[in-house]
């Protein structure tokens, strides 16, 4: 998509490669041929964590708490260790987890080497698919209680694994169509990558903006010379060659700089809707656990006991999502009204919509990493200390949101529709 002249001024914040970036680049280049061994190891660990609780039942290991039995340990490893690590590393170093370690993405790519290698169909490229995938998995997780039910957990993750390898078998050659188009955590990690301090940038860039291409070594179909965004880059290092004149190089940038300059990096309505719904889902999960909250909502909705949990959950999620959406719309309207006539609604909406990204990620950490907080409590960490940790995360996220709003250039007026602001995939 081509950046319009009025979108050009915001800087993506990239800095020229220094000695540390060069060292990282060389390390990535050295590691790349051996990554497959690491990925096989991760696949074996993943299968053990998923299947051990089913095969060994609730075999006791300890007396109580997160190490009481195999199922509890498995749940802790997946929800308490794996997810927090993935989220934290994504904010620091983009989607490096996906490209270097994720067993599902790696298996999908392996299948694409031996599979049918068909071109990616348009239905798979539908820009709403990652959001739909995220919402479906979130609802299934909540409805089945997968975070503390080993069978539900195995079915959920097993189904995702099967879907990933099926997509890999059918579509692309040495590609990860699953990671680019359908992974349920793709939007979460893509937004974290947009916020992150590390990126890969073309050494000899072409100026006409990010493009999709299946004729590239990039497994997520990025036309490498036109790469301007981080959300689809898995940091897999296939394009990194420190001695070559071409390819991509590692660069450091200010945290959040891609969000500040998002007008020139394919803003997407799907991403903004994801940020709203992430806050809605996290609010739903947290409020559902509050004593008496479900009863009160059921009373308001006038529903019977059978529909209780599901209806209450959907009501909270919808209400919270609409509340964030409305607040952003009001801010955008105020921003537009305060500006000179001719300033554009969409640009203001995206400016405030993207600025809530840190808050959305904090909400997802509270929601997805609930098991980690429970484990801390079971290990004897006082409730006050856990609350303080959550408070610090929340305050840091709010401060970051505020800095993103203040640091983002005000949208400029331009005649006619601007396709870049209608959203990329």
- DSSP code for 121: P
CB of 183 to ligand SF4, least distance (A): 13
CB of 185 to ligand SF4, least distance (A): 16
CB of 240 to ligand SF4, least distance (A): 7
Residue number with CB closer to ligand SF4 (176 or 344) = 176
Residue number with CB closer to ligand SF4 (89 or 346) = 89
Q: Which of residues 76-105 bind ligand SF4 (CB under 6 A)?
A: 99
Helix axes of 103-114 and 150-170: crossing angle, nearest 10 degrees: 30
Cα 379 from Cα 301, distance rounded (Å): 39
Q: Is 1 in the site for ligand SF4 (CB under 6 A)?
A: no
Residue number with CB closer to ligand SF4 (173 or 343) = 173
Residue number with CB closer to ligand SF4 (50 or 200) = 200
Number of residues that bind ligand SF4 (CB under 6 A): 17
Residues 6+ apart with CB under 8 A from 47: none
**Which tokens go with 156?**
């959920």
Using an 8 Å Cβ cutoff, are 346 and 416 in contact? no
Using an 8 Å Cβ cutoff, are 76 and 375 in contact? yes
Cα 214 from Cα 219, distance rounded (Å): 8
Q: Which of residues 244-273 bind ligand SF4 (CB under 6 A)?
A: 248
**Which tokens go with 239?**
């394009």
The structure tokens 């998995």 sit at: 137
Q: Is 237 in the site for ligand SF4 (CB under 6 A)?
A: yes
CB of 71 to ligand SF4, least distance (A): 35
Residue number with CB closer to ligand SF4 (93 or 347) = 93
Q: Is 325 in the site for ligand SF4 (CB under 6 A)?
A: no
Comparing C-alpha atoms, which of 198, 237, 13 is closest to residue 89? 198
Cα 313 from Cα 297, distance rounded (Å): 9
Binding mask 180-209 for ligand SF4 (x = CB under 6 A): --------------------x---------
- DSSP code for 381: -
Q: Is 233 in the site for ligand SF4 (CB under 6 A)?
A: yes
Q: Is 235 in the site for ligand SF4 (CB under 6 A)?
A: yes
Q: Is 331 in the site for ligand SF4 (CB under 6 A)?
A: no
Q: Is 234 in the site for ligand SF4 (CB under 6 A)?
A: yes
Residue number with CB closer to ligand SF4 (50 or 236) = 236
Q: Is 236 in the site for ligand SF4 (CB under 6 A)?
A: yes
Scored b (16 or more CB within 10 A) or e, 225-236 reads bbbbbbbbbbbb
Q: Is 220 in the site for ligand SF4 (CB under 6 A)?
A: yes
Q: Is 177 in the site for ligand SF4 (CB under 6 A)?
A: no
Q: Which range binds ligand SF4 by CB under 6 A, 226-234, 252-260, 319-327, 333-341?
A: 226-234
Using an 8 Å Cβ cutoff, are 304 and 341 in contact? no
Q: Is 129 in the site for ligand SF4 (CB under 6 A)?
A: no
Cα 367 from Cα 348, distance rounded (Å): 29
CB of 210 to ligand SF4, least distance (A): 11
CB of 239 to ligand SF4, least distance (A): 3
CB of 234 to ligand SF4, least distance (A): 4
Using an 8 Å Cβ cutoff, are 3 and 209 in contact? yes
Per CB under 6 A, the list member of 50, 146, 222, 367 interacting with ligand SF4 is 222
Q: Which range binds ligand SF4 by CB under 6 A, 82-90, 229-237, 294-302, 319-327?
A: 229-237
Residue number with CB closer to ligand SF4 (217 or 389) = 217
Per CB under 6 A, the list member of 239, 251, 270, 298 interacting with ligand SF4 is 239
- Please, which contacts does 77-81 make with residues 24 or more away whose CB atoms are closer than 8 Å? 77/49, 78/49, 78/50, 78/153, 78/157, 78/371, 79/147, 79/368, 79/369, 79/370, 79/371, 79/372, 80/369, 80/371, 80/372, 80/374, 80/375, 81/372
Q: Which range binds ligand SF4 by CB under 6 A, 237-245, 284-292, 311-319, 415-423?
A: 237-245
Q: Of all residues in this chain, which one has the CB nearest to ligand SF4 in the complex?
A: 218
CA angle centred on 216, ends 214 and 221, rounded to 5°? 50
Show the beta-strand stretches assigned E in 125-246: 198-202
Cα 193 from Cα 176, distance rounded (Å): 17
Q: What is the helix (H) or strand (E) element at residue 336, kind and residue range?
A: helix 308-338
- Please, which contacts does 372-377 make with residues 24 or more away whose CB atoms are closer than 8 Å? 372/76, 372/79, 372/80, 372/81, 372/83, 372/84, 374/66, 374/80, 375/65, 375/66, 375/76, 375/80
CB of 270 to ligand SF4, least distance (A): 20
Q: List interacting residues with ligand SF4 (CB under 6 A).
A: 99, 200, 217-220, 222, 224, 227, 233-239, 248
């Amino acid at each position: 998509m081509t950046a319009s002249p009025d979108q050009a001024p915001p800087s993506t914040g990239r800095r020229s490669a220094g000695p540390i970036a060069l060292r990282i680049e060389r390390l990535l280049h050295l590691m790349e041929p051996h990554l497959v061994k690491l990925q096989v190891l991760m696949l074996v660990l993943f299968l053990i964590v998923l299947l051990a609780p089913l095969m060994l039942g609730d075999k006791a290991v300890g007396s109580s708490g997160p190490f009481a039995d195999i199922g509890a340990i498995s749940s802790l490893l997946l929800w308490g260790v794996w997810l927090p690590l993935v989220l934290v590393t994504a904010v620091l170093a983009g989607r490096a987890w996906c490209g270097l370690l994720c067993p599902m993405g790696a298996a999908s790519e392996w299948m694409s080497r031996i599979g049918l290698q068909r071109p990616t169909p348009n239905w798979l490229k539908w820009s709403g698919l990652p959001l739909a995938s995220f919402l479906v998995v979130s609802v299934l997780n909540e409805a089945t209680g997968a975070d503390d039910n080993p069978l539900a957990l195995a079915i959920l993750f097993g189904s995702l694994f099967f879907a990933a390898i099926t997509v890999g078998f059918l579509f692309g050659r040495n590609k990860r169509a699953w990671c680019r188009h359908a992974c349920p955590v793709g939007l979460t990690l893509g937004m974290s990558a947009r916020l992150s301090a590390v990126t890969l940038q073309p050494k000899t860039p072409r100026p006409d903006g990010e493009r999709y291409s299946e004729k590239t070594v990039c497994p997520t179909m990025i036309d490498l010379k036109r790469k301007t965004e981080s959300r689809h880059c898995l940091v897999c290092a296939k394009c990194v060659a420190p001695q070559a004149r071409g390819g991509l190089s590692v660069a450091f940038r200010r945290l959040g700089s891609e969000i500040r300059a998002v007008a020139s990096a394919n803003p997407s309505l799907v991403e903004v809707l994801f940020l709203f719904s992430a806050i809605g889902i996290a609010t739903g999960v947290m409020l559902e656990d509050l004593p008496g909250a479900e009863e009160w909502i059921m009373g308001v909705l006038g529903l019977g006991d059978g529909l209780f949990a599901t209806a209450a959950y959907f009501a909270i999620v919808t209400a919270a999502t609409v509340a964030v959406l409305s607040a952003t719309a009001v801010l955008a309207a105020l921003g537009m009204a305060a500006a000179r006539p001719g300033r554009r609604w969409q640009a203001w909406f995206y400016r405030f919509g993207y600025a809530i990204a840190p808050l959305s990620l904090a909400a997802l950490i509270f929601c997805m990493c609930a098991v980690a907080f429970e484990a801390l409590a079971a290990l004897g960490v006082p409730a006050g200390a856990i609350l303080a940790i959550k408070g610090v995360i929340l305050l840091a996220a709010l401060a970051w949101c505020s800095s993103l709003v203040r640091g983002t250039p005000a949208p400029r007026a331009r005649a006619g529709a601007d396709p870049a602001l209608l959203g990329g995939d």
